[in-house]
Amino acid sequence: MPKLRMTGRGLWITVLVVPPLAFVALFIVYPILSAFAYAFFDWQGLRRLDFIGLENFHTVLFVEPYRSWTLNAFRNNVIVFFALMVLQNGLGFILAYALWRELPGARFHRVAVFLPVVLSTIIVAYLFKLFYHPLFGVVNISLRSIGLGWLAQPWLGQSSTALWSLIIAQAWHMVGFPTLVFLAGMQRIPGEILDAVRMETESEWVKITKIVWPLVAPSATIVFTLLFVGAFNWFELPYIMAGLDGSPFGSTDVLGLYFYRTAFGNVSAGQQDFGLGSALAVLIFIFIAAIATVITLRLRAREIQL
Amino acid sequence: MSAVAESNYYERRGLLGALGRDGLLQIILIANTIIMLAPIVIMVFSAFKSTSQIFQSPFSIPDFTQVGNFVKIWTETNFVRYLLNSFVVTGASMALILTLGTMAAYAIGRYRFTGSAFILMFFLAGLTLPLKLAIIPLFMLMRDLSILNNQLSLIFVYTAMGLPTTVFIMTGFIRTLPSELEDAARMDGASEARIMWSIMLPLVRPAMVIAGIQNVVPIWNDFFFPLVFIQNDNLKTLPQGLTTFMGEYTTDWGVLFSGLTLSAAPIIIIYIILSKQFIAGMTSGAVK
């Protein structure tokens, strides 16, 4: 790097660095720090009242009905995370493995699998909402037309299927992302290693579990962490498909909806509470940060440096 | 057979040599592609049908000259306005992100100065923070700046969100550029600003494309921030406007599907043309 002799170099660097720093400081760092501060105050509408210590945290964690709402939403998030781990990341790994072979048409398949990823979640959510319609949705129409009419049901209207219907829609939307991240990981495996494996074993299973999987560990670390953060921030898709209340009967309620509802209120429950909302935000934030750090560190430990 | 299959596979010839194993993988890929494309095809087909046609034969190929649904959207709804708003907000945000991001990355990547490592860390810290959770203070901040219900609120938040990834990608790239050209220009007495503008910036375009695509897709598609910041129907962006529109036409499925098709069309078309850049850009944060 060149050593600068200009007299005004400090000024020049300042001109370059300060505006972008100001944006990040004002619209990211400051709001996040404030979110922590907000949680310790009592709020009435948009007005901040007294400092009340940990009371907001106590309320959302231990006082009914908040306690069961928090637990219910959290439990649904956990289901969503593990289900997507299989349907999105697991399937993504298999698809990546298939694409890696570069069979005829691989280029086309690669473009197709990523197509839903570029769509807005809002479009995906409405599209699937129409597909799941009990009378006129293509899901039930298809079932009826192949003689499985008894399987047709109000997918989004009953507690037993609503959350899973959302999970399927989400998996369809995003499966292309882990697929292509894994694929990039596989393409970086050096040819010599693969040749050496070919000498040792004929078994596809051994190859996948002992060679490919460990060598794409860096990709796995990233997609697992991103899925975790995404699953616990889930908002748009349930908001459109199930509504702000996580209907029916809270079966699709997740922390994102619950937080938004608590902070900004909704049509039916009305009351907005910035204090409780901030406490929830802080708890979710700490939870995500802590677990994401653990996931990243533990998965990093098994990554192999080539 | 299997030895042949192995060598085909590892030498990446892509021949149908190993029918058994590769056949299975091919079937998986074809089945998956059908699942990926079917919803989009049904959406586009339905956009050209009347509601009763959709209910009776959802899978049939429509008469593509029936554009009544689209005409309805174009003339009877605020759709065009939403589309324009999305262009304005996304365009302004991208211009700011690329300008400011390149400025910061250039300073960090090209000059040695006290605190440059700290500044880079500062940007990187913003990389993983889920900003949705800070929506309450952001809402208050926008209110204090009196830009609630104003597209500036969106542009500012998107710019701030886009900067960390942009600075990250661009700094890495700018550091790899050779310094000979720069030194030569400096010998000739060119100012630092001139060196940056005329000599270095033309070289960083590939990184700008990657950083640009990585940010443009989430910004174009975002729904959360407009939901909180924008109430005025005339200021809504496309994903947010879509919710208004879908609420108004609940029973007219033909119009609903054509609304979805019209909203999806711009990004699908650009994606098909630039699929390679899109895939590289959108996974660049996750691929080392």
* pLDDT at position A269: 55
CB of A196 within 8 Å of a chain B CB? The answer is: no
User: What three-state secondary structure class fits A120?
Assistant: coil
Cα(B172)–Cα(B174) distance, rounded to whole angstroms?
A: 6
Question: Does residue B45 sit within a domain?
Answer: no
Please answer yes or no on whether B134 and A10 come within 8 Å at the CB atom: no
Chain centroid to CA A273: how far?
25
Q: What is the CATH number of the domain that holds B207?
A: 1.10.3720.10
By the CB < 8 Å criterion, does B184 face chain A? no
Which residues does chain A have within 8 Å of residue B128's beta carbon, measured at their own beta carbons? 229, 292
Higher pLDDT, A43 or B2: A43
| Alpha carbons A74 and A131: distance in angstroms, whole number | 27
* SS percent in chain A: helix, strand, coil, step 5: 70, 5, 25
Inter-chain CB proximity B130 and A181 less than 8 Å: no
- The answer to whether A295 faces chain B, any CB pair under 8 Å, is no
Q: Which of B32, B282, B287 sits opposite A113 (nearest CB)?
A: B32
pLDDT in the model for residue B35: 95
**Is A290 at the interface with chain B, CB within 8 A?**
no
A-chain residues near B100 (CB < 8 A): 19-20, 23
Tens place of pLDDT per residue across chain A (306 aa): 444 444 578 888 888 999 999 999 999 989 988 989 999 988 887 788 888 888 889 888 888 888 888 999 999 999 999 999 999 999 999 999 999 988 888 999 999 999 999 999 999 999 999 999 988 889 999 998 898 888 888 999 898 999 999 999 999 999 999 999 999 999 988 888 888 887 877 777 888 888 889 889 889 988 998 999 999 999 999 999 998 888 888 899 999 999 999 888 865 556 788 889 999 999 999 999 899 888 888 888 877 765
- In CATH, what number is assigned to the domain containing residue A166? 1.10.3720.10
d(CA B8, CA A17): 52
Considering the domain boundaries, does residue B173 fall inside one?
A: yes
Q: Does A117 touch chain B (CB under 8 A)?
A: yes
Task: Check A98 against B133: CB less than 8 A apart.
Answer: no
User: In the Cβ-directed half-sphere of B83, how many Cα atoms lie within 13 Å?
Assistant: 15
Q: Are residues A240 and A267 in the same domain?
A: yes
Q: Are residues A93 and A240 in the same domain?
A: yes
Quickly tell me which residue has 């500062």 as its tokens: B122
- Same-domain status, A47 and A123: no
Buried b (16+ CB within 10 A) or exposed e, A65-97: ebeebbebbbebbeebbebbbebbbebbbbbbb
User: What is the model's pLDDT at position B11?
Assistant: 47
The reply to whether B267 falls in a domain is: no
Partner residue facing B260 (CB), from A106, A123, A233: A123
User: Which residue stretches of B62-204 are H helix?
Assistant: 68-76, 79-110, 116-128, 135-144, 151-175, 180-187, 192-194
Residue B240 lies in a domain: yes
Residues A184 and A52 in one domain: no
| B144 pLDDT above the threshold of 80 | yes
Q: A147-159: b or e for each residue (b if 16 or more CB lie within 10 Å)?
A: eeeeebbbbbeee
pLDDT value at position B246? 87
**Check: complex ipTM more than 0.85:** yes
Residue in chain A nearest B159 by alpha carbon: A23
| Within a domain: A306 | no
Among the partner-chain residues B39, B220, B243, the one whose CB lies closest to the CB of A127 is: B39
* A-chain residues near B127 (CB < 8 A): none
| DSSP symbols for A36-105 | HHHTTEEEETTEEEEE-TTHHHHHHHHSTTHHHHHHHHHHHHHHHHHHHIIIIIIHHHHHHHHHHT--TT
| Tally of domains in chain A | 2
Picking from A2, A105, A229, the nearest residue to B179 by CB comes out as A2
Q: Does the residue B244 lie in any domain?
A: yes
**Residues A113 and A53 both lie in one domain:** no
The two three-digit tokens of residue B279, written as one number: 């895939």
Residue B231: inside a domain, yes or no? Answer: yes
**In chain A, where do the E strands start and end?**
41-44, 47-51
Q: Is the peptide bond before A65 cis (omega within 30 degrees of 0)?
A: yes
Contact B22 A101 (CB under 8 A): yes
Choose among B107, B130, B282: nearest Cβ to A229: B130
Tally Cβ neighbours within 10 Å of residue B114: 7
* E-assigned strand segments in A78-234: none
Q: How many angstroms separate the CA atoms of A89 and A84, rounded? A: 7
Query: Do A161 and A284 fall into the same domain?
Result: yes
Does some domain include residue A2?
Answer: no
Place of tokens 């919710």: B243
Asked if the structure places residue B87 within a domain, the reply is yes
Digit-coded pLDDT (tens) for B166-195: 998 899 899 888 888 888 888 888 888 888
Instruction: Note whether B259 and A139 are within 8 A (CB).
Output: no
A121 touches B at CB < 8 Å: yes
**A294 and A248: one domain?**
yes
pLDDT band at residue B13 under the 50/70/90 scheme: very low
Interface probe, candidates A14, A101, A257, chain B, greatest B C-beta count within 10 A:
A101
Residues spanned by the domain of A294: 61-301
Cα(B268)–Cα(B273) distance, rounded to whole angstroms?
9
| Nearest in space to A245 (alpha carbons), one of A82, A64, A121, A73 | A73
Cα A100 to Cα A182: distance, rounded to the nearest angstrom = 9
- Containing domain of residue B118, as a range? 78-248
User: How confident is the model at residue B249, as a pLDDT?
Assistant: 83
Helix or strand (DSSP H, E) at A155: none
User: Who contacts A54 (Cβ-Cβ below 8 Å, separation ≥6)?
Assistant: A40
Q: How far, in Å, CA of A223 to CA of B261, rounded?
A: 30
In a domain? residue A170: yes
As a 3-state breakdown, chain B gives helix, strand, coil percent values, each rounded to 5, of 80, 0, 20
A226 in reach of chain B (CB within 8 A): yes
Are residues A119 and A26 both part of a single domain?
A: no
**Above 70 in pLDDT, residue B12?**
no
Sign of CA dihedral A237, B228, B156, B236: positive
pLDDT of amino acid B1:
39
Same-domain pairing of A226 and A104:
yes
- Considering the domain architecture, whether residues A90 and A108 belong to the same structural domain is answered as yes
Give residue B18's pLDDT band: very low, low, confident or very high (50, 70, 90): low
Cα gap A224→A181, rounded to integer Å:
11
Cα dihedral A95, A96, A101, A102, rounded to 10, equals: 90
Average pLDDT over residues B185-213: 88
Domain boundary among A57, A79, A97: A57
> What is the pLDDT at residue A267?
55
Q: How far apart are CA B153 and CA B254, in angstroms?
A: 34
Q: Give the distance from residue A295's alpha carbon to the nearest chain B alpha carbon, in angstroms.
A: 14
Name residue A51's beta-bridge partners: A41
**Burial of residue B62, with CB atoms counted within 10 A of its CB: 0-12 exposed, 13-18 middle, 19 or more buried:** middle
Shared domain for A135 and A175, answered yes or no, is: yes
- Give the per-residue pLDDT at A218: 87
Which residues 200-239 of B have a C-beta within 8 angstroms of A? Answer: 217, 220-221, 223-224, 228, 238-239
Per-residue pLDDT at A7: 59
Closest residue to B126, CB basis, from A24, A106, A223: A24
Range in A259-273, B128-142, B201-215 the model is least confident about:
A259-273
What was the pLDDT predicted at A270?
61
Q: Which residues contact A127 (CB under 8 A, 6 or more apart)?
A: B39, B43, B260
| Structural domains counted in chain B | 1
B140 touches chain A (CB under 8 A): yes
* Nearest CA among A302, A297, A291, A301 for reference residue A213: A302
Closest Cβ opposite residue A13 in set B111, B131, B239: B111
pLDDT for A48 equals 82
Would residue B287 count as lying in a domain?
Answer: no
Inspect the interface and report whether the beta carbons of A102 and B12 lie closer than 8 Å: yes
For residue B122, the model assigns a pLDDT of: 83
Asked if B22 reaches chain A (Cβ–Cβ under 8 Å), the answer is yes
Please identify, among A23, A41, A57, the residue that sits at the C-terminal boundary of a domain: A57
Does residue A32 form part of some domain?
A: yes
Same domain, A75 and A181: yes
Share of chain B above pLDDT 70, in %: 92
Please tell me if residue A114 touches chain B, with a CB cutoff of 8 Å.
yes
